Amino acid sequence: MAQEGFARRHVGSLTAVLSIASIALVVAAVRGFVPSTAVPHGPQWFVDAIPTANAVISAAAIGTIVAGVRKIRAGDVDGHRKLMLTTTLLFFTFLGLYLYRLVVEGTTEFPGDGAVYTFVYLPILVVHMGLAMVSIPLVYYALLLAGTHSVAELPDTRHPTVGRVAAGFWLVSFALGIVVYLMLYVLF
């Protein structure tokens, strides 16, 4: 009970700590600060399958977010909770696979020409990454509120408002992630 009380009293601080740690981990992997020797190397077929698997995970997450929003609008709190937790698990699976591949293989260069890169791919990538980073603290905050308050208390918290914004940003980020995948691995 003491930990639950602590978390309830410090939702904002816990959100900040979790967000900073998560974003720092991603930045460390992207910048190459995590050596490839830090993780075991799986078979190449597994590493090569990660982008496609992550596109599928992103599509599933879009589905669970939309279904979760519909559930809460219909008053089905339990269904909403299950779907949003499923989305969170999908996201962490996506992130783990993404970071693993990033550490093992490094970043993927865009194979298209300069104009497509500059005027199409790069803006989509920047918006995708920006929304993903902004979503992290929003999602943590909504989850921490949901985990530390009763269902009856949640309408009196910022959970409904923050949850709506987080869901919207998350949806767009996942969708743009699929577009990035298509541009990197299918179209070009």
Give the CA dihedral 73, 95, 173, 151, nearest 10 degrees: 20
Q: What is the DSSP letter of 31?
A: T
Tell me the pLDDT of the chain (188 aa) as tens digits.
444 689 999 999 999 999 999 999 999 998 989 999 999 999 999 999 999 999 999 999 999 999 999 999 999 999 999 999 999 999 999 999 999 999 999 889 999 889 999 999 999 999 999 999 999 999 999 999 999 999 999 999 999 999 999 999 999 999 999 999 999 999 98
Per domain, the residue ranges of the chain are 2-187
State the sign of the Cα–Cα–Cα–Cα dihedral 24, 29, 35, 36: positive
Q: Is 153 helix (H, G, I), strand (E, B) or coil?
A: coil
pLDDT at 2: 42
DSSP secondary structure letter of residue 38: G
For residue 108, is it left (φ>0), alpha (ψ between -120 and 50) or beta?
beta
CATH code for the structural domain at 2-187: 1.20.120
- Distance (Å, rounded) from C-alpha 179 to C-alpha 171? 13
The residues, any chain, with a CB within 8 Å of residue 136's CB and separated by 6 or more, are 19, 22, 23
Question: What pLDDT was estimated at residue 4?
Answer: 62
The CA distance from 84 to 147, in Å, is 12
Name the CA radius of gyration of the chain, rounded. 18
Exposure of 174 in the CB half-sphere (CA atoms within 13 A): 27
pTM for the whole thing? 0.90
